[in-house]
């Protein structure tokens, strides 16, 4: 019998440890954060607050977002200090 159904692991068990990294929560995004590097003071509040660890920091500097995992919640944009506001949430164009 032809069967086009996806083969799923028994009972939804996940056989690989640490596999959450392979799950691209970026698929959920409706709005995307856009950084204005000119304004950013690298205070890293966004890095602390991002629930998906999607703020990328290199050498103590905020350099952008991991768009595979950023789900577009906008917390970083809200938490970026009022005087700075270096992150804008923009419509995701698919």
Partner 1 sequence: MSIVKAATKAVAYTGNSAVAYAMKQIDPDVCAAYPITPSTQVVEEFSGYAADGEVSTEFVTVESEHSAMSACIGAAAAGARVMTATSSQGLALMWEMLYIASGLRFPVVMATVNRALSAPINIHCDHSDSMGARDSGWIQLYSETVQEAYDNIFQAVRIAEHETVLTPAMVCLDGFITSHAIESLFLIEDSKVKEFIGEYSPKHSLLDIENPVTYGAMTLPDTYMDLKHEQSRAIARAKDVVVQVGKEFGELTGRTYGLMEEYRLDDADVAVVVLNSAAGTTKVAVDELRRKGMKAGLLKPRLYRPFPHEEIREALKGVKAVCVLDRADSMSGFGGPIFTDVRSALYELPEKPPVVGRIFGLGGRDFKVKDAAAVIEDLFKVAETGKVDALTKYIGV
Q: Does 5 bind partner 1 (CB under 8 A)?
A: yes
Residue 14 structure tokens: 């996940």
What track of x and - describes contact with partner 1 for positions 19 through 48 (by CB under 8 A)? x-----------------------------
Three-class SS state of 34: strand
Which bin fits 2, alpha (ψ -120 to 50), beta or left (φ > 0)?
beta
Which stretches of the chain bind ligand SF4, using CB under 6 A? 33, 35, 40-46, 50, 52, 54-55, 62, 65, 70-76, 80, 84, 86-87
Q: Would you say 66 and 54 are in contact if contact means Cβ atoms under 8 Å apart? A: yes
Give me the residues that bind partner 1 (CB under 8 A), please: 5-6, 8, 10-15, 17, 19
């Amino acid at each position: 019998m032809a069967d086009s159904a996806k083969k799923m692991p028994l009972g939804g068990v996940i056989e690989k440890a640490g596999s959450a990294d392979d799950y691209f929560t970026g698929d959920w995004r409706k709005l995307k954060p856009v950084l204005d590097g000119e304004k950013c003071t690298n205070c890293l509040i966004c890095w602390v607050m991002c629930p998906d660890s999607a703020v990328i920091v290199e050498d103590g500097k905020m350099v952008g977002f991991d768009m595979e995992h950023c789900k577009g919640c906008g917390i970083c944009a809200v938490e970026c200090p009022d005087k700075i506001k270096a992150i804008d949430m923009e419509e995701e164009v698919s």
